[in-house]
Amino acid sequence: MTHIVGRISAALLATTIAGTALAQDTSVTIVLSEELDIVDPCESSRSNLGRVLLQNISETVTELVPGSGLQPRLAVSWEDKGDGTWRFKLREGVTFSDGTALDAGDLAHSIARFQGDAISCEIGAKFFGGIDLTTEVIDDTTIDITADPAQPILPLLMSTVTVVPSETAMDSFVETPIGTGPFVWEEYARGEYIKLSANDSYWGETPAVTGATYLFRSDSAVRAAMVAAGEADIAANIALQDATDPAMDYSYPNSETVYMRPDTHTAPLDDVRVRQALNYAIDREAFVGTILANGTLLATGLTPPSTIGYNTDLEPYPYDLEKAKALLAEAAADGVPVDTKITLIGRIGNYGNVLETMEASLSMWQEAGFNMELRMVEVAEWLDHYSQPFAEGRGPEIVNAQHDNANGDPVFSMYFKYACDGLQSATCDETLEGLIADATALTGADREAKWSETFKYIQQDLVADVMLFHMVGFSRVNPRLEFTPTIRTNSELQLSQVGFK
């Protein structure tokens, strides 16, 4: 009897200790779908990097908050001074994780760095392509920023700008990110994990989370199972078939648009009839409710319907296999080499069921008569095909991509994706260049109308790409957390928004 009581007491004690340890565990483990290939804050517009760095390590000048609009972050106010110049007042008493104080010179340096030629930063190319920014430091917390051409939404554009210390090298990427955020970069074991810890000198409210470990698992089912087993707390970007537990799984429109981008510089993809055939050959509706979630929207433009100027009059291309075949035959009769092998390139782990989406698209295109093969590659190799300068002698390619725009305005997407000098543009069209330039300089209803006209031209006249879906995202969250994923979760995951029950 004494022995039994002893065993029960020991079990109760163990349970109590375990419960106490769990109650005191204020660190979180987040399992991501892909490894990071770079950790520089000037690349944090990329979703895989943004989930780790954005607003955790590196803060932006302003912040676009869903439901609340544009809010202060490192800048506390801003004022239009006219002629393209805006004056920003920075927050006082902010320090970087290396102990140096934030001042206006750091912001001027950050802007010069992402606009410079020494390194290619996605923030500069994606959000400020075709825009020249100059800065004038007025005092430690005041800076004038002038955009040429003038940008009526410059404060919104500054919600994408991460600030680094002025000592940061102009000609090389950083390997240890230094920021002003509520967390500091602790350790990176490549291929294994990343660790962040709380920033004891953070200027803002102290988060409930005291540390975070990021793991990488490409298999969606594995990521979901890790949360279910208590081995992880958040699994972002899981596939439809793995989101099976209503108690842990959240679905939400995630502002991501999936599309196929043909290289219009290379035959046969330089012929508009071939690109039209690509569009008619895809049965978009067959994906929804099967390998993609119910609620997934068929896309007619690169940005989600929440952006201004989204053209609601446009219809997705209908599935018409015979029309696709006829267009290919017509192009072939005019000497277009439609039999040339085309490489379809996908990115491993880019979104849930990306492989299934690529294989289904390949099958549909082959049925229409395209000579096509599929290559699935890791993110670093994928970028070699997706971002300029493209490799010489690469042959005709179609790149599958998922583009995020939760910022409310197409300006964050259009130059980057469609201008001749856009970093991730595979087209060059004089009319489209003019439309983008005109829309960027307008305000109000005129701006909205010009963006709407631009969407129509891209889809119906230029047929620049094969628009597919506005996506629904799924994330699995451990029930011990107080955290609800939002439209921004796929591009940033703010640890300060995570609490414990």
Q: Per-residue pLDDT tens for 99-144? A: 999 999 999 999 999 999 899 898 988 888 888 999 999 999 999 9
Q: Residue 65 pairs with which residues in a beta bridge?
A: 69
Mind listing the domains of the chain with CATH numbers?
58-160 (3.90.76.10), 183-248+478-500 (3.40.190.10), 253-472 (3.10.105.10)
355: amino acid identity, one letter: L
Helix/strand/coil for 399:
strand
Q: Is the pLDDT of residue 253 over 70?
A: yes
Helix/strand/coil for 259:
strand
Averaged pLDDT, 261-272: 97
Helix/strand/coil for 134:
strand
Higher-confidence residue: 455 or 486? 455
Q: Quickly state the pLDDT bin for 380 (edges 50, 70, 90).
A: confident
Please report the pLDDT score of residue 24 as a whole number: 54
List pLDDT tens digits, range 151-184. Answer: 999 999 999 999 999 999 999 999 999 999 999 9
Q: Under a CB-based contact definition with an 8 Å cutoff, are residues 41 and 174 in contact?
A: yes
Measured CA to CA, the distance from residue 42 to residue 113 in angstroms comes to 8
Q: Is the pLDDT of residue 1 over 50?
A: no
Please report the pLDDT score of residue 408 as a whole number: 81
Closest CA to 466 of 298, 352, 327: 298
Measured CA to CA, the distance from residue 399 to residue 52 in angstroms comes to 25
- The two three-digit tokens of residue 247, written as one number: 């108690």
Alpha helices by DSSP H, 193-271: 220-228
The residue with tokens 């006829």 is 326
Q: Residue 377 pairs with which residues in a beta bridge?
A: 347
Lowest mean pLDDT among 12-21, 192-201, 215-224: 12-21
Residues in the chain: 501
Helix/strand/coil for 491:
coil
Question: Using CB atoms within 10 A of its CB, is residue 38 exposed (0-12), middle (13-18) or buried (19+)?
Answer: middle
List pLDDT tens digits, range 407-425. Answer: 788 988 999 899 998 989 9
Q: Is the pLDDT of residue 400 over 50?
A: yes
Question: What are the percentages of helix, strand and coil residues in the chain, rounded to 5?
Answer: 30, 25, 45
Q: Is the pLDDT of residue 8 over 90?
A: no
List pLDDT tens digits, range 293-317. Answer: 888 999 999 998 889 999 999 999 9
Q: Please report, in angstroms and rounded to a whole number, the separation of the first and last CA atoms in the chain.
A: 39
Please report the pLDDT score of residue 13 as a whole number: 37
Distance of alpha carbon 349 from the chain centroid: 13
Torsion of CA 307, 312, 314, 318, to 10 degrees: 100
Q: Quickly state the pLDDT bin for 21 (edges 50, 70, 90).
A: very low
Q: Quickly state the pLDDT bin for 23 (edges 50, 70, 90).
A: very low
Rg of the chain over Cα atoms, rounded to whole angstroms, equals 24
